[in-house]
């Protein structure tokens, strides 16, 4: 089984050092805060947890090792209280006794990973910062590596290869458009989401960089067989990722690497662009595929090399790509309903979007990709108008209102999780696990309530012009300045009578299983039942 970060072949262990753990703390000038403008504050603060909240509060780490990387083992984990439920991959990054340079690398990896939000990029669910370790809880990719699929099939047929390459290009175009560069593109870093699936996702952002990716970089990193000539010359930009992709396409089409031999031989051949061409194999490859790979991607001059956006428009990709299912009425209705929802309800849906399983996301991800006309990994206003106005005759004013409600980060783009948030409760069924997960992400201090301080920590002093007290009052039925779990459920489901039943069922479950992670929710539910009873009795006519 593969997972995010598995089979990391980066070189050596951490160097000793005495850098303080506090340097990873969030402050107003940190890269983490800067990411709020890219991904929205909910996406970042709702998933980043500080001590005393610990990973073991929410997840149980198993003994199964999924992979080994520079920072140690990546292990299988399950969410507490949910036996047989979703699987996760946990990477532990050591914070003590490491040098400042290595600490900066860790910070960069986490910062980049936190703002990844695309159907073809592995998902980071939670980050827990403690005194000694930074734990990353990631989506567990159960379908195995693209590398293993190549070993199994030997050579991909061109239709299958083109579909795989298109998915990889969508991931690269997304990260490049959002000022990120991967710098370690290889077969092992693309994994299938589940067994029998052809849906690929990009993993491992240990070498990634965020910032001006058109500025020349000098650090030599990556895996030698895949590195671009300009990387060896220590002067490169984002186009190095496209060369590496070219190596992957070469392997998919003919079943072997373009450069082989000793490290010294490989460096010489890469520097000279001398491929190991076997005419008997390439004679079976179409002219379009040959041109795409050898002239388009494995182009020595990075300025003449195809960009990710250009590669997606290449004849070889477009001629064989599968058509995504059309946007249906259900998606349009979900978008309209979200646009009309209250601000706190939208906040809750945004939080739930980060708790959806791969299976739940797969119900709507094709619709998102289909609406992303630019193939940059987000939906622009012009894309939304094209669908909602042309196909569903939705007025321009309403389309603009929908777009503004979904553009959480105010960067003129709808991100994947924004789209998923609109689907929750409409195309994706809302259930207790979603409600519990969202509540816990707001309840930052594990008190069993969502307080004004909690909302300020997650959302800031205001959200879309609304004060935190105004947002809290939307769900604060008891008017006691906090939101209990039953109130939260009632607010989102619209079933006030069932809130008592939900509270009672959680308490009963807690009595049966004292070790359940729902302790704080249970206590709050019990207190809520008592408060509700008093409130009802006080309002009964005399």
Give the integer Cα–Cα distance in Å for 249 and 253: 6
Of 83 and 23, the one with more pLDDT = 83
Give the integer Cα–Cα distance in Å for 223 and 187: 11
pLDDT per position as a tens digit, 141-190: 999 999 999 999 988 999 999 999 999 999 999 999 988 999 999 999 99
What are the strands, taking DSSP E only, across 146-198? Answer: 180-181, 190-192
**DSSP labels, 168-190:** HHHHHHHHHHTTEE-S---GGGE
Q: What is the pLDDT of residue 33?
A: 54
Residue among 337, 341, 327 at smallest CA distance from 386: 327
Q: What phi, psi does 134 have (nearest 5°)?
A: -115, 115
Q: What is the pLDDT of residue 531?
A: 54
Q: At what angle do helices 468-475 and 343-353 cross, to 10 degrees?
A: 80
Structure tokens, 438:
């969202």
What is the residue whose two structure tokens read 């990260």? 175
Structure tokens, 305:
């090399």
Residue 65, H or E segment: strand 59-69
Q: What residues are annotated to the active site?
A: 184
Give the integer Cα–Cα distance in Å for 427 and 436: 19
What is the residue whose two structure tokens read 């403690």? 130
**21 pLDDT more than 60:** no
**DSSP labels, 336-388:** HHHHHS-HHHHHHHHHHHTT--HHHHHTTHHHHHHH-TT-SSSB-HHHHHHHH
Q: What is the pLDDT of residue 399?
A: 95
Give the integer Cα–Cα distance in Å for 160 and 164: 6
Structure tokens, 439:
């509540």
Q: What is the pLDDT of residue 506?
A: 53
Torsion of CA 451, 455, 456, 461, to 10 degrees: -120
Q: Which of 171-180, 458-467, 497-506 tops mean pLDDT?
A: 171-180
**512 pLDDT more than 80:** no
Tell me the pLDDT of the chain averaged across its residues. 83
Residue among 322, 310, 334, 349 at smallest CA distance from 491: 349
Q: Are 139 and 89 in contact (CB under 8 A)?
A: yes
Q: Are strands 124-129 and 48-50 parallel, antiparallel or unpaired?
A: parallel
Q: What is the pLDDT of residue 112?
A: 79
Q: What is the pLDDT of residue 345?
A: 95
How many other C-beta atoms are found inside a 10 Å radius of the C-beta of residue 444? Answer: 21
Of 456 and 42, the one with more pLDDT = 456
- Determine if the peptide bond prior to 414 is cis (ω within 30°): no
Please report which confidence band the pLDDT of residue 536 belongs to, taking 50, 70 and 90 as the band edges. Answer: very low
What are the CA-CA distances from residue 40 to residues 33, 57, 239 (Å)?
10, 25, 28
Handedness of CA 249, 250, 251, 255 (dihedral sign): positive
Q: Are strands 462-463 and 190-192 parallel, antiparallel or unpaired?
A: unpaired
Q: Are 71 and 172 in contact (CB under 8 A)?
A: no
Please give the DSSP secondary-structure letter assigned to residue 497.
Answer: T
Please give the DSSP secondary-structure letter assigned to residue 122.
Answer: P
**40: number of CA atoms within 13 Å, CB side?**
27
Q: Are 138 and 211 in contact (CB under 8 A)?
A: no
pLDDT per position as a tens digit, 204-249: 888 888 877 778 898 888 899 999 999 999 999 999 999 999 999 9
Of 5 and 210, the one with more pLDDT = 210
Q: Are 67 and 49 in contact (CB under 8 A)?
A: no
Give the integer Cα–Cα distance in Å for 507 and 518: 9
Which of 28-42, 78-92, 110-124 comes out lowest in average pLDDT?
28-42
pLDDT per position as a tens digit, 301-315: 999 999 999 999 999
Where do the H-state alpha helices sit in 415-475?
Answer: 416-423, 432-442, 452-459, 468-475
Residue among 281, 309, 284, 283 at smallest CA distance from 296: 309
Give the integer Cα–Cα distance in Å for 439 and 462: 19
Give the integer Cα–Cα distance in Å for 275 and 150: 19
Residue among 294, 79, 93 at smallest CA distance from 206: 93
Give the integer Cα–Cα distance in Å for 134 and 23: 12
**11 pLDDT more than 70:** no
Give the integer Cα–Cα distance in Å for 156 and 295: 20
Q: At what angle do helices 468-475 and 485-493 cross, to 10 degrees?
A: 80
Give the integer Cα–Cα distance in Å for 304 and 310: 11
What's the average model confidence in pLDDT over 499-524?
A: 49
Q: Are 516 and 487 in contact (CB under 8 A)?
A: no
What are the CA-CA distances from residue 529 to residues 131, 345, 499 (Å)?
38, 23, 9
Interacting residues of 279 by C-beta distance below 8 A, sequence separation 6+: none
How many other C-beta atoms are found inside a 10 Å radius of the C-beta of residue 397? Answer: 8
Residue among 443, 448, 376 at smallest CA distance from 412: 376
pLDDT per position as a tens digit, 401-427: 999 999 988 889 999 999 999 999 888
Bridge partners, residue 73, by sequence: 68
Q: What is the pLDDT of residue 102?
A: 80
Of 302 and 515, the one with more pLDDT = 302
Check the annotation: does 91 bind a ligand.
Answer: yes
Q: What is the pLDDT of residue 517?
A: 43
Q: Provide the whole-model pTM.
A: 0.85
């Amino acid at each position: 089984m593969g997972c995010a970060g598995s089979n990391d072949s980066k070189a050596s262990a951490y160097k000793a050092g005495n850098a303080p753990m506090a340097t990873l703390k969030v402050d107003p000038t940190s890269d983490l805060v800067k990411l709020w403008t890219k991904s929205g504050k909910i996406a970042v603060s709702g998933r980043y947890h500080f001590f005393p909240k610990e990973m073991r509060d929410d997840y149980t780490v198993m003994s199964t090792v999924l992979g080994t990387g520079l920072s140690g083992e990546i292990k299988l984990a399950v969410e507490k209280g949910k036996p047989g439920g979703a699987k996760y991959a946990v990477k532990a990054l050591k914070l003590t006794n490491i040098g400042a340079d290595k600490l900066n690398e860790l910070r960069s990896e986490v910062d980049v990973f936190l703002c990844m939000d695309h159907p073809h990029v592995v998902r980071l669910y939670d980050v827990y910062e403690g005194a000694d370790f930074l734990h990353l809880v990631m989506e567990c990719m159960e379908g195995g590596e693209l590398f293993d699929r190549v070993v199994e099939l030997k050579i991909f047929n061109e239709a299958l290869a083109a579909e795989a390459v298109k998915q990889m290009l969508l991931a690269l175009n997304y990260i490049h458009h959002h000022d990120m560069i991967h710098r370690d593109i290889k077969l092992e870093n693309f994994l299938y989401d589940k067994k029998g699936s052809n849906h690929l996702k990009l993993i491992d952002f240990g070498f990634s960089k965020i910032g001006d990716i058109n500025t020349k970089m000098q650090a030599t990193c990556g895996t030698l067989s895949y590195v671009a000539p300009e990387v060896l010359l220590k002067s490169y930009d984002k186009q190095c990722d496209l060369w590496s992709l070219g190596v992957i396409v070469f392997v998919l089409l003919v079943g072997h690497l373009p450069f082989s031999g000793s490290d010294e031989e490989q460096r010489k051949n890469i520097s000279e662009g001398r491929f190991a061409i076997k005419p008997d194999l390439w004679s079976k490859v179409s002219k379009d595929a040959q041109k795409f790979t050898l002239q388009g991607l494995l182009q020595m001059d990075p300025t003449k090399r195809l960009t990710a956006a250009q590669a997606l428009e290449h004849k070889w990709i477009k001629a064989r790509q599968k058509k995504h299912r059309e946007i249906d009425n259900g998606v349009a209705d979900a978008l309209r309903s979200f646009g009309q929802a209250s601000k706190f309800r939208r906040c809750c849906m945004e939080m739930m979007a980060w708790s959806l399983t791969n299976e739940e996301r797969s119900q709507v991800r094709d619709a998102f990709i289909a609406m992303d006309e630019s193939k940059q990994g987000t939906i622009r206003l012009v894309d939304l108008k094209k669908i909602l106005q042309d196909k569903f005759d939705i007025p321009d004013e309403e389309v603009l209102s929908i777009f503004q409600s979904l553009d959480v980060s105010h960067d003129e783009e709808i991100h994947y999780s924004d789209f998923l948030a609109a689907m929750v409760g409409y195309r994706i069924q809302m259930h207790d696990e979603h409600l519990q997960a969202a509540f816990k992400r707001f309840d930052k201090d594990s008190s069993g309530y969502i307080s004004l301080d909690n909302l300020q920590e997650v959302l800031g002093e205001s959200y879309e012009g609304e004060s935190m007290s105004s947002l809290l009052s939307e769900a604060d039925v008891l008017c006691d300045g906090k939101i209990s779990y039953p109130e939260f459920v009632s607010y989102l489901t619209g079933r006030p009578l069932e809130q008592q039943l939900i509270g009672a069922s959680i308490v009963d479950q807690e009595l049966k299983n004292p070790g359940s992670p729902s302790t704080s929710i249970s206590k709050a539910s019990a207190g809520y039942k008592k408060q509700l009873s008093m409130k009802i009795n006080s309002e009964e006519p005399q």
